[in-house]
Structure formats: structure tokens, C-alpha cells
Amino acid sequence: MKRNFGFTLAEVLITLGVIGVVAALTIPGLMTAYKAHQLRAQFLKSYSIVQQVFKQMEADDVSTDPSTYAKKSPSFYSVFKNYLSGTIDCGTWTTKGFPCANVNKITYKTLDKNNTVNRYYFDDGQIALPDGTLLVFENPAAEDYIWVLVDINGYKNPPNIWGYDLFTFEFLDGELRTMGDKETTYNDADLYCNPQKSNALNGIACAHKAKTENDYFKSIVHEFK
């Protein structure tokens, strides 16, 4: 007697159901891991670019002293951009659109999402890199510091949150440091890099965590799923 070997419809449906359950359990985790890996790679690349420019300026004996540029010409950002190629010069106090951030329509949010990042952090010059990364410079006239805020995935790409895709670096004592490092202006991570706290600067100190904690981006992506 000839026998037919194969699966019944019920067996096929059960198998597909099992595959579906496994996929539902594993794919979100894989997507989170992929997004976290992508963000970390963009962060480290941006950090390296900014760091290399500071080093090149020092090698060329070009001043990196904040007081050299505050309320003077040329501005710090205009000197900085000379060390980069293929960039878009957004200017200072820009009202241009993408890839620049219009200072009159800032949409960046703090890490707790309850506050909009102060537009005055965006008025001392912006430079868009060829890959869309946005460099924002803060070199106020009355202060003796230089900050570089970096939107690692570009202004057009969400979520535009301080501590998720916007990070702050501070040039301090001849060294580029990640904000949140112990010597930087804002180094209290519990207050300034905490999704559960609400204040106008929440997220500013996350760069140091992003640099030093391998799972930082995984936790932050999970937080904002």
C-alpha cells in the first residue's frame, strides 16, 4: 500500500505559530540591539572627528583658548570648520532649515522630554557634516568655555533628545572631554542624565555615560521604545 509522507495542515499551522511566537519574542530585542549598536558607532565616530580637529588645531598652533574667540572675530566655529571638508556652514543664530537647526524653532527635548533645549546653545555656529551629523558650538562671550553639541544622526532624524542622539562635549584644560566627566561643568549624572528627573539641562551629562558604558545605548533605546 502506497503511503504519502508529509505534514498535515494542523501540523503546519502549529509550526508557523511556534515560529511566530519565537519571532515576536526575539525580533524586538534584536532591533533594540541593532539600533543601540548603530547609535554607539555614530557617537564614537562623531567624538573622534571633533577630537581630531582639536588636536590638529593644537598641532598647527591655533588657539583653543575660549577667550580668544568670545565676542571676537573670527569665531571659534568658523576656525573649526576650516579643518573639515564637504560641510555645510549653517552660520550663527541660523534660521535655515535642515540640515541646520533653526534657533527660532528648536525641537530638541531634554532626556525627560518635558523641556525644550534652550535655543541659546545653538547660536554660536553650526556645521553639518556630509553624513548629516550636526555640530553645534557654544562659546558665550561672558564665559570661558567651549562646548560642542553633536546630533549624531542629524537634525532630520528623531527623536532629537539630549542624551539619546544629542550629546555635549567640553574642551577643558587642553582636552576634549565628554560632559559628565568629573571635571566638566555638569558632572552629576543622577541629575543631568536621568530620564526620571525633570530639569532644563537633563541629558547634558550623558556623553560620559555613552562613552564609558557599553550598554548605555541599549538602555536608552529600551527606555524610549
Confirm whether 46 is domain-assigned: yes
pLDDT of residue 12 exceeding 70, the answer is no
Confirm whether 3 is domain-assigned: no
| CA 181 centroid distance within chain | 16
By residue range, what is the domain housing residue 192? 9-223
Confirm whether 1 is domain-assigned: no
Q: Cα(35)–Cα(222) distance, rounded to whole angstroms?
A: 10
Confirm whether 205 is domain-assigned: yes
Confirm whether 4 is domain-assigned: no
**Nearest-10 crossing angle of helices 216-223, 9-59:** 120
Confirm whether 192 is domain-assigned: yes
β-bridge partners, 178: 169
pLDDT of residue 7 exceeding 80, the answer is no
- How many residues comprise the chain? 225
Confirm whether 143 is domain-assigned: yes
Confirm whether 73 is domain-assigned: yes
Q: How many domains, in total, are found in the chain?
A: 1
> Could you tell me the pLDDT band of residue 65, with boundaries at 50, 70 and 90?
confident
Write down the pTM of the prediction: 0.87
Q: Which amino acid is at 52?
A: Q
